[in-house]
Homo-oligomer: A and B are copies of this chain.
């Protein structure tokens, strides 16, 4: 499994993250049930996530058959959280599925609120 996604995420490099994703990537957020589909839609969200997470760092990496777990710690405002990026790779080495989970609930709720504020600000800027 290549580490292009990890390196780009650590560098907060949006272009590098996009290049590591399959064009048809599916993103399952820690917050909403419905997956986001396609590199453009997913990067629209990930570029905001990168702004919302402070002190973001990966602390462990695990490997499965075609999957990788990247365990991270981060802060959203005054809430500490830990989480896992669960990646599934295609034959071409690009990320086909990215599922993110976080804990505890206070951190997930802080993330949801921060993302909602970012999405509203973007919608206003576009309107």
A: residues with CB less than 8 A from B are 28-33, 60-65, 67-69, 71, 80, 82-84, 86, 99-109, 112
Contacts and interface: CB of A to CB of B under 8 A. Distances in A.
Nearest to A100: B103
B105 A112 contact: yes
Number of copies: 2
A104 B62 contact: no
Given A69-B84, A108-B108, A30 B103 contact: yes
A28 B105 CA distance: 11
Contact of A31 (B28, B60, B80, B105): B105
Contacts of A84: 69, 84, 86, 101
A29 B106 CA distance: 12
